[in-house]
Structure 1
């Protein structure tokens, strides 16, 4: 058990309407879980209530991509509306841990004012079993929702029937954040995770997560994943042609494929893919619900 973050668990892409996002990701070769409406406690110890937000997810062997929209506008939407009003795209970064109480104690020692371990639950599908999570969110982070997460019921979340992706996506390996004050954003993430920052060769900062078996999925290996924190001037060298809608901005993600990108090239060859280094292929945000999406071997 560890008192630091161990892995990149999932990212969340937000828009008011869920269907356009899910259509885009299915067109990219992802198999998605059924629509699940969220519920949870707004405060530690508070009552469980139904939220107006809901999701569909692309579950990978390591980590997953969550697509979040508003299903019932009259209910609490878990900040999906607020995030979407800034821009439609990535707003949620969840980092895997295996000991919520130890991380809570570390965060409090570091001066993060957090009430306690928060809890979220949702049915994995309509009428299905309830998946449960333990969460440690960083309060009022300007970058979006930054949180540590421990899965209480991972076997309910990662189900083989939802993991047969035509594009052979296998692992969520990196998220890229852009900030006008990259040093402050990087320091905030270091404080949240308990991990030491390092300079990034291409500019900005890097957090490396050491990995933990089964932390980001019941079959997930202990593999290194990363978060990069860039200044605006660093972005063109990483995601060519990607515009910045607002700052701070979660710009995009890297997804490893199990076949060296052969299926991606065959399936998505008609899209305006950007060739990057080492055989990586970038799908522009206009085709990936507002987020740059890089498939890599």
Structure 2
């Protein structure tokens, strides 16, 4: 309960900073090994925590346990369980018994979270890259002005504020650094585009040609959509991939609930 209370306080502070995305969790098949590796690398974290909740499935109620850790900032004055851009950590892979009880189909065709974009001041990008290299345990590679971590079938992209508007026209970071966008794989990109437009969203186009819902219409962070192939997803290998991004709760309908 103490950890839940502390996490809630962290999110409240993040929301005071700006509306949008504030949580990025990397899924791991072995959360205890992930904690040990980060401890050995000198990365501060709050150890592995467990929370439970009841889930109704197959006519019975089972208890789902979620195990996770939150990474601490290197700044001694920062609150525990948060870094500059928000709450970042590692979560144990979800038990498929519980995953299958959730809504796995969405009208927009979404089936996977495949990219998260962190925007930082150009002068700070190297330091942010170094932080995530230590968090993940392997290096990023450059794609133009951006730095990219390939995480199995997903990517973490670090973009300097000086080129954010080139990647996502019309977008600007609400703060630096911040989680400014995420990408969702869909089964039929044209059907997704039509659904979004019919629901009243005015779409932008990324530098790679993908449609996106601007941040001001998507609860504070842009959401863009990739044509995907759900039957060609790679099996987990590196053990870390973006797992969870959350918008601030609101009354408006989010274009994606992946």
For the criterion TM > 0.5, the same-fold answer is yes
Q: 160, 164, 173: which one pairs with 1:231? A: 160
Deviation at 1:267, TM superposition (A): 4.1
Q: 131, 142, 154: which one pairs with 2:64? A: 131
Match of 2:127 in 1: 184
Deviation at 1:196, TM superposition (A): 1.4
Q: 111, 119, 122: which one pairs with 1:170? A: 111
Aligned pair 1:292/2:222, yes or no?
Answer: yes
Q: In the aligned structure 2, how far is the partner of 1:292 from the partner of 1:244? A: 10
Aligned pair 1:282/2:204, yes or no?
Answer: no
Aligned pair 1:254/2:183, yes or no?
Answer: yes
Match of 1:144 in 2: 86
Unaligned residue ranges in structure 1 (runs of 5+): 1-39, 43-48, 52-74, 211-223
Q: In the aligned structure 2, how far is the partner of 1:277 from the partner of 1:243? A: 15
Alignment length, in residue pairs?
A: 212
| Segments ≥4 residues shifted beyond 4 Å | none
Match of 1:111 in 2: 42
Q: Answer yes or no: is the 8 Å Cα contact 2:55–2:98 preserved in 1.
A: yes
Change (3 A) 1:291 1:260: same
The Cα offsets for residues 25-46 of structure 1, whole Å up to 9 and x where unpaired, read as xxxxxxxxxxxxxxx551xxxx
Q: Answer yes or no: is the 8 Å Cα contact 1:261–1:295 preserved in 2.
A: no
Change (3 A) 1:111 1:241: same
The Cα offsets for residues 47-72 of structure 1, whole Å up to 9 and x where unpaired, read as xx7x6xxxxxxxxxxxxxxxxxxxxx
More helix by share: 2
Match of 2:252 in 1: none
Deviation at 1:119, TM superposition (A): 2.1
Match of 2:19 in 1: 88
Q: Answer yes or no: is the 8 Å Cα contact 2:46–2:71 preserved in 1.
A: no
Where 1:90 maps in the other structure, the secondary structure is coil
Q: TM-score, normalised by structure 1?
A: 0.65
Where 2:189 maps in the other structure, the secondary structure is coil
Q: In the aligned structure 2, how far is the partner of 1:101 from the partner of 1:147? A: 13
Deviation at 1:250, TM superposition (A): 0.5
Q: How do residues 54-73 of structure 1 correspond to structure 2 at under 5 angstroms?
A: none
Cα-Cα RMSD:
2.4
Unaligned residue ranges in structure 2 (runs of 5+): 74-82, 228-258
Q: In the aligned structure 2, how far is the partner of 1:159 from the partner of 1:236? A: 39
Match of 1:156 in 2: 98
Deviation at 1:113, TM superposition (A): 2.7
